[in-house]
Amino acid sequence: MPGFLDGEDLSPNALERARQATRRYIDLTSSNPTHQGLLFPADVLQRASAAYWSNRRYDPEPRGLQSARLAIAQYYAERTPALALNADQIVVTASTSEAYSLLFALLTDPGDNVLAPAITYPLFEYLAMAHHIELRPYALDERRGWRIDPTSLRLQADERTRAVLIVSPHNPTGAVLASRLPVVRALDLPIICDEVFAAFPYRAATVPPVGALYPELPVFHLNGISKMFALPDLKLGWIALNDAAHDRFSERLEVLNDTFLGANTLTQTMLPAIFEHGRTFTAAMHQRVRRSLDMAIAMLSGCDVVRVHPPDGGYYLFPEIAGWNDEEALTLHLLDHGVLVHPGYFYGYEQGTHVVISCLVEPLQLQIGIERLVAALSAWVSARDSSS
C-alpha cells in the first residue's frame, strides 16, 4: 500500500506560480478572518484565560472538559430546531480536521468508502487518503440550488459504504440541508455533518442540525470556534452526537479521542466565556457577511456573462462564467487584471466554468476586487464581440 501522497505531483500549479510572480492583486480567496479585520474581542479572551492561569492544573478528560462540553450542549439547545444533548454526547477535539480523522478511524477500515459531495473542499481528499479510504462523490444539482441529487447518492452506495458526509451550509455552494431526504433515510448509514458555517445563514432562515432532521440515524455534527467566533488560531472543535450516534458509537469514540487528547486545556477552559460573551461579535460578523454578499451579488448580476445564485448560507459565492471553457485560463486572465479567485476545479467540479469568491474579504477590498473582475470580463466580452 503506497504511503501518503506517494507519487503525487506536489509542485505549484499554474495559478499558484502566477500568483507568486504577481506583485499586486486583490485576493478574493481569503477565508482567514484574522487577515480581514475580524478579530474576536481581546478583553473577552484575556478575562476568559485568567481563570486558567490562576488555577492551572492538567486533568485530562477523554471527551474534553465538562465545562466546555456543557457550553457546546447549550449551543445546540438554542439552535432551530433545538437539539437536546447532554455533556456526554460532546467530544472536544483540536479542530474539525481532527474530528474528521477520528470519525474516519471510528467508522471505516482501509478500502471502505464514504459518500461525499462531488464539489468538495480539498481537505477531505487528503484525510481520506491518510486513512486509505475512498470518497465516493455524489452529485449536487445546480439547477435546484445545489441540492443533493438523490439518485446519484443512492447509486454511489455499495456494500463497503460506511457513512454519508453532508456539508450544511455547503462549501462553496452555500446549500443548506433544510428537510429530510427519503434517500438518506433509506441508506440507513451514519451521517457526518460538517456545519462549520451554520452561524452564517443567508437565504435560509436557519440552519437545522441534521441530527434533528434524522433522529433515528447516527449523526455526528462537526463544528468549532474557527468560523463561528473567528478564532482559527485557538484551535478548538467538537463532535456532537445525537442520541442514535451516542448509543452506538460513544464509548469507542471516547477511546479514540483519549488516544490523542488533541484539544488544549487553555482553550477548553475559555470556551464557556467565549460562548457567553462572543455572541455579539458573531452577530456583527454575520451582518457584515450578509452585506458583503448583498453587494457582491448585485455587482456580479450586472455582468452579462456571470450567473450567480444567492447561497442559503456560508460566506462564499460560486458563480458560473459563461463563454469560457477553461477555468485555469479564466483565473489567469483575472489575475492579469489584478484579482485572484479560485477555479471550480479546485473543489472537484468540472461542469461549466465556475469561480469561488470569499465574501469574508474586507468589504472595501471585496468591492474593488469585484469591480476588477467585472471590468476584466466586460473587456473580454467587448473584444470577443468586436472580433466576431
Structural domain total, the chain: 2
Say if residue 252 is in the same domain as residue 283. no
Q: Kindly state whether residue 9 falls inside one of the protein's structural domains.
A: no
Say if residue 79 is in the same domain as residue 101. yes
Mapped onto helix, strand or coil, the DSSP state of residue 116 is: strand
Say if residue 122 is in the same domain as residue 252. yes
Q: Which helix (H) or strand (E) holds 239?
A: strand 237-241
- Domain of 118 in residue numbering reads as 42-277
Say if residue 157 is in the same domain as residue 67. yes
Q: Kindly state whether residue 340 falls inside one of the protein's structural domains.
A: yes
Q: Kindly state whether residue 385 falls inside one of the protein's structural domains.
A: no
DSSP string, 124-135: HHHHHHHTT-EE
- Among 224, 237, 220, 235, which Cα is nearest to 198's? 224
Last residue of a domain, one of 277, 309, 338: 277
Which residue is listed with cell 478500502? 111
Say if residue 167 is in the same domain as residue 199. yes
How far is the C-alpha of 163 from the C-alpha of 128, rounded, in Å? Answer: 13
- The pairing of beta strand 113-117 with beta strand 90-93: unpaired
Which residue is listed with cell 445564485? 309
How far is the C-alpha of 30 from the C-alpha of 93, rounded, in Å? Answer: 25
Half-sphere exposure of residue 113: CA atoms within 13 angstroms, side-chain side: 15
Q: CATH number, domain at 359?
A: 3.90.1150.10
Q: What is the pLDDT of residue 48?
A: 94
- The pairing of beta strand 161-167 with beta strand 147-148: unpaired
Q: Kindly state whether residue 5 falls inside one of the protein's structural domains.
A: no
How far is the C-alpha of 303 from the C-alpha of 65, rounded, in Å? Answer: 52
Say if residue 144 is in the same domain as residue 273. yes
Packing angle, helices 243-260 and 96-107, rounded to 10: 110
Say if residue 134 is in the same domain as residue 222. yes
Residue 14 grid cell? 499554474
Please, which residues have CB within 8 angstroms of residue 70's CB and are 6 or more apart in sequence? 87, 272
Q: Kindly state whether residue 124 falls inside one of the protein's structural domains.
A: yes
Last residue of a domain, one of 216, 246, 277: 277
Say if residue 165 is in the same domain as residue 259. yes
- Among 276, 313, 318, 281, which Cα is nearest to 297's? 318
- Among 302, 300, 332, 335, which Cα is nearest to 319's? 300
Q: What is the pLDDT of residue 318?
A: 98
Q: CATH number, domain at 164?
A: 3.40.640.10
Q: Kindly state whether residue 7 falls inside one of the protein's structural domains.
A: no
Strand partners for 136: 115
Half-sphere exposure of residue 282: CA atoms within 13 angstroms, side-chain side: 17
For each of the chain's 388 residues, which pLDDT tens digit applies? 567 666 666 677 877 787 887 778 999 999 999 999 999 999 999 999 998 998 898 989 999 999 999 999 999 999 999 999 999 999 999 999 999 999 999 999 999 999 999 998 888 999 999 999 999 999 999 999 999 999 999 999 999 999 999 999 999 999 999 999 999 999 999 999 999 999 999 999 999 999 999 999 999 999 999 999 999 999 999 999 999 999 999 999 999 999 999 999 999 999 999 999 999 999 999 999 999 999 999 999 999 999 999 999 999 999 999 999 899 999 999 999 999 999 999 999 989 999 999 999 999 999 999 999 999 999 888 777 777 6
Q: Kindly report the number of other CB atoms within 10 A of residue 60's CB atom.
A: 10
Say if residue 365 is in the same domain as residue 218. no
Q: Are 161 and 153 in contact (CB under 8 A)?
A: no
CA-to-CA separations, 271 to 91, 181, 233, 275, in angstroms, rounded: 14, 34, 14, 6
Which residue is listed with cell 455587482? 299
How far is the C-alpha of 102 from the C-alpha of 328, rounded, in Å? Answer: 35
How far is the C-alpha of 211 from the C-alpha of 329, rounded, in Å? Answer: 42
Last residue of a domain, one of 243, 277, 311: 277
How far is the C-alpha of 190 from the C-alpha of 241, rounded, in Å? Answer: 11
Say if residue 162 is in the same domain as residue 135. yes
Q: What is the pLDDT of residue 51?
A: 84
Say if residue 193 is in the same domain as residue 325. no
Q: Kindly state whether residue 3 falls inside one of the protein's structural domains.
A: no
How far is the C-alpha of 174 from the C-alpha of 349, rounded, in Å? Answer: 15
Say if residue 125 is in the same domain as residue 261. yes
Q: Are 346 and 210 in contact (CB under 8 A)?
A: no
Q: Are 286 and 321 in contact (CB under 8 A)?
A: no
Q: Kindly state whether residue 272 falls inside one of the protein's structural domains.
A: yes
CA-to-CA separations, 193 to 99, 168, 283, 335, in angstroms, rounded: 11, 7, 23, 35
Q: What is the pLDDT of residue 2?
A: 67
